[in-house]
Amino acid sequence: MSDEDIVNNNLTALVVDDSPMIRKLHEMHLKKFGLKVQVAENGKNAVDLFRCGASFNLILMDKEMPIMDGAEATKELRIMGVTSMIVGVTSLDSIFERQAFMEAGLDHCFTKPLTSENIIFLLQELNNKNNEEN
């Protein structure tokens, strides 16, 4: 995938995190790679967006959030039939906790901080997924 392909995409993303700083940072980071981005401050807001008919190619999901955490939101979205790429972005250290988060239905899980290398990897995965579906 060329640099031009990476930036010239029609991809949409949802950043789900209770930290306003992380939402702002991840939103800008994804926008720099050409994605159209929306944000949600907890898992329930993310699920509600999908219930209202929104859809996104990529969801960046924090784990620990009030009202509905990332694992619960991910399970709910998968039960609803959401096939978006859902990627955990968390500070969790314990292998057990990360494994439990993955088992909720994540496609990948990264430790914070989210880097440009992580985003390039995800764009390539999304490109591969798109090619397989076509």
Partner 1 sequence: MLGLAADRLRADTNRLLAFLFHQGILDEQFLQLQQLEDETSPNFVSEVVNIYFHESEKLLRNLRSLLMDKEFSDYNKMGIHLNQFMGSSSSIGAKRIRNVCVAFRAASEQNNRAGCLRALELLEHEYCFLKNKLHELFQIQQQRALAAAVRYPMQN
Binding footprint of partner 1 on the chain (CB under 8 A) = 18-22, 24-25, 28-29, 32, 62, 64, 90-93, 112-116
Give the residue with the Cβ less far from partner 1, 30 or 58. Answer: 30
| Tokens at 49, concatenated | 């967006």
> Distance between CA 53 and CA 62 in Å, rounded?
22
Q: Supply the minimum distance, in Å, between the C-beta of residue 94 and partner 1.
A: 9
- Nearest distance, CB of residue 99 and partner 1, angstroms: 16
Instruction: Give dist(CA 101, CA 19) in Å, integer.
Output: 19
Helix/strand/coil percent split, the chain, to 5? 50, 20, 35
Q: Considering the complex, state which of residue 92 and residue 106 has its C-beta at the smaller distance from partner 1.
A: 92
Would you call 92 helix, strand, or coil by DSSP?
coil
Cβ distance to partner 1 smaller for residue 17 or 107: 17
